[in-house]
Chains A and B, each alone.
Chain A
């Protein structure tokens, strides 16, 4: 069930990111029902959860809420990636990074190192 909800979350977010327009639960439900049978309350619950997580903001319009994405998918991705790279003080236990960030001088030195050895020259 948890997995199903997680999947629904990403479907709803993708829809809202793609349309980039404010939408009510009913709007989203109409979109989702094109592909599957789903209950109003389920969608409402998930959208409420996304609001709690800070991914959607909402305003009451009439008797319902109108939801809107807080930031674009690109901006959100950039933020998440930046956080993962920064890794806070606890770099040890969270994410093992492929490479640290480099200064331009260091990057040049790396390119030079690769130039010195022809690729495929001395592999295993």
Chain B
């Protein structure tokens, strides 16, 4: 029961306090890939610990221990009556777990289906408007506004407008398109979809809302880093400024300029890679978030297994 309480506490505290805690990781902007893993692991650990808490509350540890030793033994233990799980509680736990899983899958399905529909509609319009430029390896659209973006998916493609092409030098265009291809090749839309799923499933949870915004920001940094491997950072920075400034301001779409500023500063003055301590902290955080709840939930079961079934092997 204690385990269940701890897991439930982790679930609630994680949903409320983790965003503030994770935001404090000063290394996130220097290692976007690791930071994305951290945010998604944090998101995942909340429903997982909720599920485990429910099960820990319903099924006594010793039964899980027997279960590990084999299904026959769990049945034997149940019928023997020494640690009989309450059938009503088990059923209730199953019902809760099923609804959590179904709810999450529905949210995920809705996100993916909606995205696919929107992409298909856009791709269809592009097939009328754009022409593929083999030299650039991108779809060129006649449009005065300076835009570059990508349409992910199985036949993902980078798109750039003639307005952007006119305002950028060829090497800047190459850097911009490398950024877009980094999105496509890295399947960043799936990372975004994962974050979106959590936020869609539970819109009021601060952790999920924060994770969605952070992952969206971090994939841009990640794509910049990938593009900067092949292209001079200064070209990418200059291209970012050109693209960001030559555009009609749209009040409706609001803020978000800080990310643009940050990206340009990052490209202009590269920061040192992570030190060993920071790498360790990041890795440890992800591991703890992912494996912590499961280990905690399995602990009583495991100890029961050891005590009941391995006494011949163990010295105690």
Contact pick for A124, options B179, B195, B270, CB 8 Å: B270
Q: Tell whether, in the assembled complex, residue B128 and residue A113 are in contact, meaning their CB atoms are under 8 Å apart.
A: no
> For residue B269, which residues in chain A have a CB less than 8 angstroms away from its CB?
117, 122
Q: Tell whether, in the assembled complex, residue A92 and residue B122 are in contact, meaning their CB atoms are under 8 Å apart.
A: no
Question: In angstroms, how far is the closest chain B Cβ from the Cβ of A53?
Answer: 8
How many of A's residues come within 8 Å of B, CB to CB? 48
Q: Considering only CB atoms, which chain B residue lies closest to A98 in the complex?
A: B148
User: Once bound together, how far apart are the Cα atoms of A116 and B260, in whole Å?
Assistant: 16
Q: Does B279 contact A (CB under 8 A)?
A: no
Q: Tell whether, in the assembled complex, residue B129 and residue A73 are in contact, meaning their CB atoms are under 8 Å apart.
A: yes
Q: Tell whether, in the assembled complex, residue A101 and residue B147 are in contact, meaning their CB atoms are under 8 Å apart.
A: no
Interface positions of B from 68 to 87, Cβ below 8 Å from A: none
Q: Tell whether, in the assembled complex, residue B147 and residue A85 are in contact, meaning their CB atoms are under 8 Å apart.
A: yes
User: Once bound together, how far apart are the Cα atoms of A10 and B112, in whole Å?
Assistant: 28
Most buried by B among A104, A110, A122: A110
Q: Tell whether, in the assembled complex, residue B192 and residue A98 are in contact, meaning their CB atoms are under 8 Å apart.
A: no
User: Once bound together, how far apart are the Cα atoms of A113 and B141, in whole Å?
Assistant: 30
User: Once bound together, how far apart are the Cα atoms of A107 and B264, in whole Å?
Assistant: 12
> For residue A52, which residues in chain B have a CB less than 8 angstroms away from its CB?
none
> For residue B150, which residues in chain A have a CB less than 8 angstroms away from its CB?
95-96
Most buried by A among B151, B223, B228, B253: B253
How many of B's residues come within 8 Å of A, CB to CB? 69
Q: A120-B234, A124-B233 are in contact. Are A98 and B122 (CB under 8 A)?
A: no
Interface positions of A from 73 to 124, Cβ below 8 Å from B: 73-74, 76-78, 80-81, 83-86, 88, 90-104, 106-107, 109-111, 113-114, 116-117, 119-124
Interface positions of B from 136 to 158, Cβ below 8 Å from A: 141-143, 145, 147-152
> For residue B142, which residues in chain A have a CB less than 8 angstroms away from its CB?
73-74, 77
Interface positions of B from 169 to 197, Cβ below 8 Å from A: 176, 179-180, 183, 188-189, 192-193, 195-196
Q: Which 8 A-B pairs have the closest CB atoms?
A: A93-B115, A106-B257, A92-B196, A100-B256, A123-B232, A92-B192, A107-B245, A93-B193
Chain B contacts to A: CB under 8 angstroms: 111-112, 114-115, 118-119, 122, 124-129, 141-143, 145, 147-152, 161, 176, 179-180, 183, 188-189, 192-193, 195-196, 212, 216, 219-220, 223, 228-229, 232-235, 237-238, 240-241, 243-245, 247-251, 253, 255-257, 259-261, 264-265, 268-270
Chain A contacts to B: CB under 8 angstroms: 6, 9-10, 13, 53, 55, 73-74, 76-78, 80-81, 83-86, 88, 90-104, 106-107, 109-111, 113-114, 116-117, 119-124
Would you list 29 pairs from A and B whose C-beta atoms are within 8 A, ordered by A residue? Answer: A9-B127, A77-B129, A77-B142, A83-B122, A85-B149, A85-B253, A90-B114, A93-B112, A94-B118, A94-B119, A96-B183, A96-B189, A98-B148, A98-B179, A100-B257, A102-B249, A102-B256, A103-B249, A103-B251, A106-B257, A109-B257, A110-B244, A110-B257, A111-B241, A116-B268, A119-B237, A120-B234, A122-B234, A123-B233
